[in-house]
Amino acid sequence: MSSVLTYTPYDSIEDSVHLVRRVYETGKTRSIAFRKVQLQRLYDLVKDNEERFYEALVKDMNKPRTEALTGDIAPSLEECLYFLDNLDNLSKDVKVKPRMQMNAMDDLVIRKEPLGSVLILGCWNYPVQLSLVPLAGAIAAGNTVILKLSEVSAHTAALITELFPKYLDSHCYRIVNGAVDETTALLKYKFDHIFYTGSPQVGKIVMKAASEHLTGVTLELGGKSPAIILPDADLSIVANRIGFGKFYNCGQICIAVDYVLVPEDKMDAFAEAFRKTIKTWFGEDPKQSPNYARMVSERHVDRVVGMLQNRESGAIAFGGEFDRNERYIAPTLVTDVKFKDQVLMGDEIFGPILPVIPYSNLDDAIHMVNQNLPPLVLYAFTGKKKLAQKILDNTQSGGVCINDCLMHQAEYSLPFGGIGNSGIGNYHGERSYRAFTHERSVMAKKLNMESLIAVRYPPYTDKRTNMMRMLMVTSPLSLKIKAYKGAFKKLALLIALFVVYSKRR
């Protein structure tokens, strides 16, 4: 147990779970006005205490202020403001045009309703963003919430825990703190949705627990996200952008570049360009730089350093130094790594070590990417659209960012999520609202026209069956007419012009 974070007693966990369930059933969180007040309060929680969050993130990971702003504070503030501005529109019923002729006179509506009482399991690497951004979506959608913070980033978790009841309605939204045992206890209860950010291994545990209650899940996981450098790319620019995508937050990010595929004749040039980038950013000794974060714990240092020391291939082009007590690992580039290296190319690295693998042609690079499970993101660097399109057409990933790193995740107009081993479902902005919302279909018929409706009742006859077919199955001829609708209009216009012209003559 962390000395700065008090874990939640098991009886309090049970009380909180039952409380938010009972409060949801009262309908308190369904009010749009109530949701807006809580979203404003969540915004205030972050904004009023911004400096304290910076301090906590420094204690947890030595996170530079700019990285704390861009990776934790700004996304949380922006998501609250988005929902405050768009909630009225997002929550509106959607009227639907009937497809079946027999329903042509009926009212069809899709209602946007909250899922109920939901569980959000936050993550330690971005402990503000990855807890409060999904929370904003759950609040906007009208749910009650149990928020389980990560005990690994203990200082930030302790701060959120302190502030939470001062700003938000503690009957509707509760925090649980703890480690594996407390999380396991939480997962025994029935929730209406579980939102988890973390590793695929734990994601399987969450999904298994959810299946006991037939509870839906959103799983934001990770994987080995590759960067493919094409021969035409400017290596000095690529080195900057991949460096940003790897050493931001000391590589502790699920969308970090996990390995790089470089044309075999560009290996040395890429390594040299990368070396210049690191020196420019962090100086001769990155350990002394105020712009370089730290690993979150000594245990994480041991894991990542172990991968470097036990690797099966490759040579350290630069970096490799570490200080366990300082939780420091230098920005490290390992060149000539074999794709089959079971250490560097086995699990996601989640730290500042970047393996570089040579390839002979693009088909070989694509083949290597496809031998791994679909990653959370794929990066490609090329000025040639056809080559980028070839990569898109022949690979699979949660998202893609071409000629940059990380920035697709920061653009909340895009859905963010994985596929297969890298995740289930997506969120951000409108998609967060959808993730925590049930689209309830409503059809309202009138109690008249019974003589027409009677065609569907027994006793069944050939005449009734044929009529039902006409009402329920679209005629292929009508589809063809629709397909050539534009051509028919042009033909009609030409005929009309010809008639007018003929009359004038």
Reported as a single tens digit per residue, the pLDDT across 180-237 is: 999 999 999 999 999 999 999 999 999 999 999 999 999 999 999 999 999 999 999 9
Q: Do 373 and 491 have their domain in common?
A: no
> Tokens at residue 121, please?
């399991």
488 domain residue, yes or no: yes
Q: What are the helix (H) ranges across 248-295? A: 267-282
Tell me the residue type at 123. Answer: C
For 95-128, letters b (16+ CB in 10 Å) and e give: eeeeeeebbeeeeeeeebebbbbbbbbbbbbbbb
What residues make up the domain containing 264?
Answer: 226-416
Sorted by sequence, the CB contacts under 8 Å of residue 303 that are 6+ apart come out as 351
Residues taking part in catalysis: 220, 254
Q: Do 485 and 390 have their domain in common?
A: no
Mean pLDDT confidence for 291-312: 97
Q: What are the helix (H) ranges across 49-153? A: 50-61, 65-68, 74-90, 129-140
What pLDDT shows up at residue 350? 97
Tokens 């690797």 found at: 311
32 domain residue, yes or no: yes
Q: Do 186 and 321 have their domain in common?
A: no
Q: Do 411 and 284 have their domain in common?
A: yes
Q: Do 261 and 280 have their domain in common?
A: yes
Reported as a single tens digit per residue, the pLDDT across 352-395 is: 999 999 999 999 999 999 999 999 999 999 999 999 999 999 99
3-state SS track over 345-382: CCCCCCCCEEEEEEECCHHHHHHHHHHCCCCCEEEEEC
Q: Do 337 and 373 have their domain in common?
A: yes
Reported as a single tens digit per residue, the pLDDT across 446-469 is: 998 888 889 899 999 999 999 888
Number of domains into which the chain is organized: 3
pTM (2 decimals)? 0.93
CA dist 60 and 334 (Å) reads: 27
**1 pLDDT higher than 70:** no
CA dist 152 and 158 (Å) reads: 11
Nearest to 394 by CA among 410, 416, 413, 378: 378
